Structure 1
Amino acid sequence: MSFAYSSIGLGLSIAKVVGGGHVRTSLTGVEAGVDVTGPEKVWRTFQAIGDIAFAYAYSNVLIEIQDTLKSSPPENKVMKRASLIGILTTTMFYMLCGILGYAAFGNDAPGNFLTGFGFYEPFWLMDFANICIAIHLIGAYQVFCQPIFGFVEKWSQGKWTNSQFINGEHALNIPFCGTFYVNFFRVVWRTTYVIITALIAMVFPFFNDFLGLIGSLSFWPLTVYFPIEMYIKQSKMKKYSFTWTWLKILSWACLIVSIIAAAGSIQGLSQSLKKYQPFKAQQ
């Protein structure tokens, strides 16, 4: 799905660039004092760093993916290769989307690559791209929510061990499909969670700001700190050795990046709230 809608966006950007028409661009993006104020440009840069951190915070699903691998060849070798190929591929698409999107729309390019860029024709192609986005997000939502669902359900089962509502499995016979077992607590809890998160998303449509904030809060501890510390512990690395030193420097540098990104995202949210209208998308 990502490959499909990203390729569509790239193709439309290339078509717009080839079709002519001059857009205002510069080496450093939007111009301070012309498009935005100096402080606003700095805050937007910090927010963009948070968006990038969110895009690379794949640690939430890394273990989930590794659990599906066979034991031969070893999982660590497979995951090293898969991570390398995956990061290189996504980086290539991110860079192409950013560069070609900016070349096509210049300093007026909004954050949403497809729905905000002014791509309205051909309609069928845009509809297909948005269907791909919907399918992608529905699947990704399920994957990212599974740890939350599992934690709450396991904690509840341990807390109320005698509750039939929480622990009971009820057989449901569906014609031509067989028998399925339904847990009422699981149905109610997961449905409620989805409804609440959907309402929050509609009430507070600050897409880029929230992405940057989530990315900044999760990037350093999950994607940088814990993996580095686990690697140091597992490999029994000597303290103050060359590798230990540069890994620590990398960790602290990423912490600073995360703090900067969080500050930018919080500032962006505060600015968005000033012109906030419920259930309306922010421009």
Structure 2
Amino acid sequence: MGKTSETHDLPLLQAQTADSSFKRTGNLWTAVAHIITAVIGSGALSLAWSTAQLGWIAGPLAVLSFAAITLVSSFLLSNCYRTPDPEHGPGRNRSYIEAVDVSLGEKRAWICGFFVQISLYGTAIAYTVTSAISMRAIKKSNCYHKEGHEAACEYSDTSYMLMFGFAEIILSQTRNLNNVEWLSVFAAIMSFTYSFIGLGLGLATVIENGYAKGSISGVSTSSSIQKLSLVSQGLGDIAFAFPFVLVLIEVQDTLKSPPPETHTMKKASTIAIFVTTFFYLLCGSFGYAAFGDDTPGNLLTGFGFYEPYWLVEMYFKQKNIEPWTRNMGDA
């Protein structure tokens, strides 16, 4: 049987209590910045494609459903930060694995840790590949601008993957999320910037077309199996757009007290999820309305837009910085 709040291991509780002397300066708005930095990433501009696969009804409902699931999960997990009482402790669990260990035992902590590492591994691959594609897209946008949209502008992204991977290794060694609040604030601003870029260009295209494209059933396919596959991919992309629960406790560990960290974290989660979901719905809806069945996997990497090329370039330069902050937890 795993450990419970009534049967804490004394040395562990003493170590957690001793750690409470560390000065934490985070507040509601720094937590919101950390969360938005973790949530609004490359998935924001792929939501138009996901909406296209699901249609006008199922697409927005899927976004709202995953947002609700993430919010409930964040509320439950935020109560696991302090031990044994969620508000008064006195022990602190500084990571998800430590919280599982204290609550459910070492064996379950190993099992959960295994799946967490797989998730982080997959996320790191996704961002490495996406960032390389983004950097390649900058060169393509410049090439198309100079040579025309029909030019053979093809570039390899292997070197960009290697460079970004090296940067991730270096930056992942940064200690103490509490000391990089400025970076999350900066990255959150960039996240909103490229969300506005996608949203604005989608809206402009709808206005230019004079009508909204798309259908209730989404993209039509030649077989039900193909449709099921595309719907599954769309749901997966939407689920990937709400990943911050993996770093929730690390963010909560930056918060000062009083008030109790769990109260601040729940407020921050509510604000951040509400804001990001609002942007997700707008980006997904206007992107689908602009291109209909021809919606690309990413509004900019798929070159749904060629011009203005300088805006495309600015978007990618911003987006390539933001994923680095995901690695800046406690080493």
Instruction: Please give the range of the TM-score, normalised by the shorter of the 2 chains.
Output: 0.3 to 0.5
Question: Greater Rg, structure 1 or structure 2?
Answer: 1
TM-score scaled by length of structure 2: 0.41
Structure of higher RCO (CA pairs closer than 8 Å, 6+ residues apart): 2
